[in-house]
A and B are shown apart, each in its own frame.
Chain A
Amino acid sequence: MKIDNNQLLRFTTAGSVDDGKSTLIGRLLYDSKSIFEDQLISIENTSKRRGHEGIDLALFTDGLRDEREQGITIDVAYRYFTTPKRKFIIADTPGHVQYTRNMVTGASTANVAIILVDARHGVIEQTKRHAFIASLLQIPHIIVCVNKMDLVDFTEDAYNNVISQFEEFSSKFLIKDIRFIPISALLGDNVVNRSENMDWYQGAPLLHTLETMHISSDLNKVDARFPVQTVLRPQREGFLDYRGYAGRVASGIFRLGDEITVMPSGFTSKIKSIDTFDGELEEAHAPMSIAITLEDDIDIGRGDMIVRSNNKPETSQDMEVMLCWLHNNPARPRAKYTIMHTSNEQKAMIKEVLYKIDINTLKSKTDDDSLNMNDICKVTLRTTKPLMYDCYRENRTTGSIILIDDSTNETVAAGMIL
């Protein structure tokens, strides 16, 4: 296999309880020969014990003991497979219990969301929720898999119905790229191998689509942002005066000699070197981990952000945020939380709940300002010091935040800055 150009694609899968999500993942792993013999034997034994005919592909994705006993998925689980073209990471998110929290988690790093729809039932409420969350989290690509085509005699009508239903409700969402594929996860049609039962479908099977879709533009390469994680001061021979700012390029491209501004102090300088263990670089882009040295001695620490002087982020203590509440303890009115944003950490207060989105009707409600587990609300936040951010739609790294409850240290909310 040639490694040089093979990219990494992260996708998340969403579907209702019986849409065949686990079967689809099992099918992808099985047909792409990513399942080992000892796993296969263990699953054959379990299938037999439970009285299944053949092997139950869904068993590949069973993780913790509680789930195996109850036959459900309770937390995001990550799966891996590689083809000669790409490496894939699947964030497998549960269908029902706490689905919002888990799907938001799985979606936060995904390039692609696969949404499963049962061809017999068409678009249902859960489909709309999944599409809404995918658009909320700005997953760049959505693939709607119309599953169980074998149960509707592989007819084009069933497939077209789903497309028109989906187009109807999703037109107001912010979705950049959407595709539809008719499949049977159970029988393998159009998953890895082209279906012989659906001549009318001219598009590519799922795996081929995942292997070839354009993802190198998914990261923002325009706005150069470098949140400083830590400062490297080796204080050993050869590096006595070395002061490198270590971090990962959040977005954009930095080059030697670039005029930069350090936020929030506003000091300016030029990039003197871009360093890595493997040598100095002329330029660095997202998502590379590097160290930057500057021409001038400036006081810089964790939480500061280096940006190109001609393109700066927003700087404010007040911002509007779409907040997804992730914890059993509801938000306390006017309580202070720790906010983490890139490498920056401070205190924040939820000043006002502007509206709550009813996840079932997708309509906004203004008469309810409570924040409970799985609620999605538009709020205003105020931080103790200015935050350097971009809107989430433009930049998933500098536009995202989490809130932490200091009394439990738990992560209680995820937010996307508007």
Chain B
Amino acid sequence: MSKYYLNYLDELEAEAIYVLREVWAQFQKPVILFSGGKDSIVVTHLAQKAFYPSKIPFPLMHVDTGHNFPETIKFRDDLINSLGVELLVGSVQDSIDQGRVAEERGKHATRNALQITTLLDAIENNKIDCAIGGGRRDEEKARAKERFFSHRDEFGQWDPKNQRPELWNIFNGKYFEGEHFRVFPISNWTEMDVWNYIKREKIEIPSLYYAHIREVVWRSNSWIPYSEFTVLEENEAVLSKKIRFRTLGDITITGGIESEADTLEKIVDEVSAMRNTERGNRSDDKRSESAMEDRKRQGYF
């Protein structure tokens, strides 16, 4: 006799597929925000499952900071080809060239905050009413209160103190002209769940997640990749290390960890033994105790 309950990964998967189908049913023009990181790859994989045997019925959208790992862009283009879906790109470089935003200056300058304007412009220009993200509630304390269906006002802003209550599995995606929603199908997943799922489903991920030899600089307690965008300080040295990345973002701020994990099995073992949160290596979150909350209020991912 079969068992009539799901294990937790199957239940998380069924929940995410349900959420993605609700998006398709409730919105006019949704997109998946695709960064090339593992979470957006998992969301894309789940969307493939949700609409099979149809193709994913909406585009993927990449907010391109211009500071990319070349591996990420290649991965993105290959995936788009194999899925046969449309790709939209919002370019931070374009936003700078158009004078919409100004580049930060100094050693710790990043394009992280600039993405907000590019993202909101891309949403407005493409008339997008729902941006599906790979955000998870376990990532950061401001995300712990995020809804599955998260309302954004006409300025793209999140009001954490005035969120719609979300009960059972009934999602209210109603909005007025100019407003939009952010939807997070894997809200209830942890980093460990994501890795276990990638391993179980044999999902292809960029080589950057596997341990590899790379030129790096020690900065803010992690190994920052040395690239054409790196401005070296006097006391900094470029070293060659075997590292891997736990998250992927802008190449100038994504820190790697020293690791020997070059297979999915080894990564899962390493993550389960890990004593630091994955965002611990992201210098964008270290600026202040409420750095993430402040960016989210303004319209960040």
Q: Which of B13-21, B101-109, B114-122, B227-235 contacts A (4 or more CB under 8 A)?
A: B13-21
In the complex the two chains form, what is the Cα distance from A3 to B6 in whole Å? 11
Does B160 lie within 8 Å of A75, measured CB to CB? yes
Q: Which of B3, B8, B142 contacts A87 (CB 8 A)?
A: B8
Tell me, yes or no, whether A298 is within 8 Å of chain B by CB.
no
In the complex the two chains form, what is the Cα distance from A362 to B246 in whole Å? 51
In the complex the two chains form, what is the Cα distance from A76 to B145 in whole Å? 6
Report A85-129 CB contacts with B as 1/0, cut-off 8 Å.
011010000000000011011001100000000000000000000
In the complex the two chains form, what is the Cα distance from A343 to B22 in whole Å? 8
A161 to chain B: closest CB distance in Å? 35
Does A277 lie within 8 Å of B48, measured CB to CB? yes
* A326 and B277 in contact, given A7-B8, A288-B6 (Cβ under 8 angstroms): no
In the complex the two chains form, what is the Cα distance from A208 to B221 in whole Å? 38
By size class, the interface of chain A is: 35 or more
In the complex the two chains form, what is the Cα distance from A253 to B2 in whole Å? 12
B108 to chain A: closest CB distance in Å? 19
In the complex the two chains form, what is the Cα distance from A285 to B293 in whole Å? 39
Does B54 lie within 8 Å of A340, measured CB to CB? no
Does A3 lie within 8 Å of B200, measured CB to CB? yes
Does A108 lie within 8 Å of B144, measured CB to CB? no
Does A89 lie within 8 Å of B5, measured CB to CB? no
Tell me, yes or no, whether A8 is within 8 Å of chain B by CB.
yes
Give the residues in chain A near B144, CB-CB below 8 Å.
63, 77-79
Give the residues in chain B near A3, CB-CB below 8 Å.
7-9, 196, 200
Report A272-302 CB contacts with B as 1/0, cut-off 8 Å.
0001111000010101110100000000001
Report B134-160 CB contacts with A as 1/0, cut-off 8 Å.
000110011011000000000000001
Tell me, yes or no, whether B51 is within 8 Å of chain A by CB.
yes
A390 to chain B: closest CB distance in Å? 13
Does A82 lie within 8 Å of B190, measured CB to CB? yes
Q: Which of B53, B165, B193, B280 contacts A411 (CB 8 A)?
A: B165
Q: Which of A36, A216, A340 contacts B170 (CB 8 A)?
A: A340
Q: Which of B18, B168, B188, B196 contacts A80 (CB 8 A)?
A: B188
Does B49 lie within 8 Å of A64, measured CB to CB? no
In the complex the two chains form, what is the Cα distance from A288 to B12 in whole Å? 10
In the complex the two chains form, what is the Cα distance from A6 to B10 in whole Å? 10
Give the residues in chain B near A343, CB-CB below 8 Å.
25
B102 to chain A: closest CB distance in Å? 26
Interface residues of A in 247-288 (CB under 8 A from B): 247-248, 253, 275-278, 283, 285, 287-288
Tell me, yes or no, whether A230 is within 8 Å of chain B by CB.
yes
Q: Which of B7, B21, B174, B274 contacts A5 (CB 8 A)?
A: B7
In the complex the two chains form, what is the Cα distance from A288 to B280 in whole Å? 35
Tell me, yes or no, whether B275 is within 8 Å of chain A by CB.
yes
Interface residues of B in 272-292 (CB under 8 A from A): 272, 274-277, 280, 289-290
* A108 and B15 in contact, given A216-B5, A229-B22 (Cβ under 8 angstroms): no
Give the residues in chain A near B48, CB-CB below 8 Å.
277
Tell me, yes or no, whether A173 is within 8 Å of chain B by CB.
no
CB nearest to B21 among chain A residues: A229
A30 to chain B: closest CB distance in Å? 13
Interface residues of B in 4-44 (CB under 8 A from A): 4-15, 17-18, 21-22, 24-25
B58 to chain A: closest CB distance in Å? 12
Give the residues in chain B near A285, CB-CB below 8 Å.
4
CB nearest to A286 among chain B residues: B4
Does A101 lie within 8 Å of B53, measured CB to CB? no
CB nearest to B172 among chain A residues: A411
Give the residues in chain B near A105, CB-CB below 8 Å.
165-167
Q: Which of A7, A36, A247 contacts B7 (CB 8 A)?
A: A7
A312 to chain B: closest CB distance in Å? 21
Interface residues of A in 295-313 (CB under 8 A from B): 302
In the complex the two chains form, what is the Cα distance from A340 to B293 in whole Å? 31
Give the residues in chain A near B266, CB-CB below 8 Å.
none
By size class, the interface of chain B is: 35 or more
**Number of A-B pairs, beta carbon distance below 8 Å:** 183
Tell me, yes or no, whether B219 is within 8 Å of chain A by CB.
no
Does A75 lie within 8 Å of B14, measured CB to CB? no
Does B274 lie within 8 Å of A36, measured CB to CB? yes
Does A80 lie within 8 Å of B160, measured CB to CB? no
Interface residues of A in 172-203 (CB under 8 A from B): none
Give the residues in chain A near B289, CB-CB below 8 Å.
42, 65, 68
In the complex the two chains form, what is the Cα distance from A36 to B278 in whole Å? 10
Does B166 lie within 8 Å of A340, measured CB to CB? no
Tell me, yes or no, whether A397 is within 8 Å of chain B by CB.
yes
Tell me, yes or no, whether B164 is within 8 Å of chain A by CB.
yes
* A108 and B141 in contact, given A37-B276, A74-B161 (Cβ under 8 angstroms): no
B177 to chain A: closest CB distance in Å? 11
Q: Which of A89, A238, A242, A340 contacts B188 (CB 8 A)?
A: A89
Tell me, yes or no, whether B50 is within 8 Å of chain A by CB.
yes
Interface residues of A in 386-417 (CB under 8 A from B): 396-397, 400-402, 404, 409-411, 414
* A289 and B21 in contact, given A8-B11, A104-B167 (Cβ under 8 angstroms): yes
Q: Which of B8, B55, B137 contacts A78 (CB 8 A)?
A: B137
Does A87 lie within 8 Å of B193, measured CB to CB? yes
* A411 and B164 in contact, given A3-B200, A402-B170 (Cβ under 8 angstroms): yes
Does B18 lie within 8 Å of A289, measured CB to CB? yes
Tell me, yes or no, whether A318 is within 8 Å of chain B by CB.
no
Give the residues in chain B near A168, CB-CB below 8 Å.
none
Spell out A's residues near B (CB within 8 Å). Answer: 1, 3-8, 36-39, 42, 62-66, 68, 74-80, 82, 86-87, 89, 101-102, 104-105, 108-109, 216, 219, 221, 229-230, 232-234, 236, 238-239, 242, 244, 246-248, 253, 275-278, 283, 285, 287-289, 291, 302, 326, 338, 340-343, 396-397, 400-402, 404, 409-411, 414
Q: Which 10 A-B pairs have the closest CB atoms?
A: A216-B5, A289-B17, A8-B8, A277-B49, A409-B174, A277-B52, A37-B275, A108-B167, A87-B8, A234-B54
Given contacts A64-B141, A276-B49, A289-B13, 4 further A-B contacts (CB under 8 A): A8-B6, A77-B145, A80-B188, A402-B167
30 contacts between A and B (CB under 8 A): A7-B7, A7-B8, A7-B11, A8-B12, A36-B274, A64-B145, A64-B160, A64-B290, A89-B188, A109-B169, A229-B21, A229-B22, A230-B24, A234-B53, A234-B54, A236-B55, A238-B53, A239-B53, A248-B18, A275-B52, A276-B52, A287-B14, A287-B18, A288-B10, A289-B18, A289-B21, A341-B170, A400-B168, A400-B170, A409-B174
